[in-house]
Structure 1
Amino acid sequence: MRILLCTTGFDNSITHGGARCKALPEGRKVVYWKKYSAMEEKRMIRDFVETYYLEGDYNCAETLLLAANDAYALGLPEGAHRLVSAFGAGMGCERACGAVCGALAALGCLRANGRAHATEGFKELSAGFVNKVEAECGSIECSALMERYRKEDTRCLDTVLRIADALDAYLRETE
């Protein structure tokens, strides 16, 4: 069962999975619910990370994509997180950080116009995000980030939150 993060907007609409609806889909479990004012309507990716990563047991890449979907209303279909599942734990071999890969997938959803090659400056935009993460975290390699930030009880939560914050900031910087 997929976890749903639900909010009631200032207009009393229900939002879940980044999409507005009149009612929750049948058989869905609500694990987070809060009423937001108009000023709070804009959410940050970090607001959704703990629920997906710790409570939902999604990996780092899946968490970033799902949290970005909720924060930025990407409208991804059910199961879209599976597209980045193999990127968790640095592609399973502690190489490129899965959270960075999930964030890049979200960046593509938000900023690529159809195809990356057809989007002027998209390569540079992606590289800019990777460079930002590397500057802020010291690396984009899973093994180095795990050595620096991993904790036994929360796994890579600190890293995933750092990447979520970096993506939010980068999206604001590059608007």
Structure 2
Amino acid sequence: MNLQEQILYYYKKKKYNCSETIIHAANDVYSLNLDKDSMKMLAGFGSGMYSGKTCGALIGYVAVLSKLFIKEKAHDQLSEFRKAIQLCVRNFTEDLGDTECKNIRPHSYDPNLHCLYTVQKAGMALESTIAEIKKEYELES
């Protein structure tokens, strides 16, 4: 299955929140080799940390890029990693208009689908970011 199919599966069928959905879907598609217990660390980031702050889908997206990009620690690759994360935030913001859940939700939330649209758009931004980064840096995916 591709990333969008996995997002739909984890969000609608498994009922994971936005950040959990991104990490689970990406784990399957990009072979991140994360175990289920480790992915629980993203549970608290749903709904902008349940306070409308930074969108949980964006946090999941940054977590995926971190796993794909970092060999040991961020400071060892800071110059390149900083550019990759800035690209991530730019692509996410271009697709969704903001990084804050409270500002995204009014135009993206659906009473029946909840934040599925946001998570799908975040997935598209993740895919385009990975493609852009692969052109410039060596990724292990």
Structures share fold, TM-score greater than 0.5: yes
Q: 2-side partners of 1:165 and 1:61: how far apart?
A: 14
The CA deviation string for residues 48-106 of structure 1, in whole angstroms up to 9 with x for no partner, is 01111111111100000000000101111122221111111001101100000001101
Select the residue among 98, 101, 112 that pairs with 2:59. Answer: 101
Deviates more, 1:161-170 or 1:112-121: 112-121
The structure that has the greater radius of gyration is 1
The normalised TM-score by structure 1 is 0.73
| Residue of structure 2 in register with 1:119 after alignment | 77
The residue correspondences of 1:47-62 to structure 2 (distance < 5 A) are 47-62=5-20
Structure 1 spans left out of the alignment, 5+ residues: 1-42
**CA shift for structure 1 position 165:** 0.7
User: Which of structures 1 and 2 has the larger relative contact order (alpha carbons within 8 angstroms, sep 6+)?
Assistant: 2
The residue correspondences of 1:67-106 to structure 2 (distance < 5 A) are 67-106=25-64
Does the 8 Å contact 1:61/1:88 carry over to 2? yes
Q: 2-side partners of 1:82 and 1:112: how far apart?
A: 20
Task: State the aligned residue count.
Answer: 133
| Pair 1:130 & 2:64 matched | no
Deviates more, 1:131-140 or 1:60-69: 131-140
Q: 1-side partners of 2:90 and 2:130: how far apart?
A: 14
The normalised TM-score by structure 2 is 0.90
Does the 8 Å contact 1:59/1:88 carry over to 2? yes
The 4+ residue runs of structure 1 with deviation greater than 2 A are none
Structure 1 or 2: larger helix share?
2
Does the 8 Å contact 1:62/1:81 carry over to 2? yes
Deviates more, 1:62-71 or 1:77-86: 77-86
Structure 2 spans left out of the alignment, 5+ residues: 135-141
The alignment's C-alpha RMSD in Å is 1.1
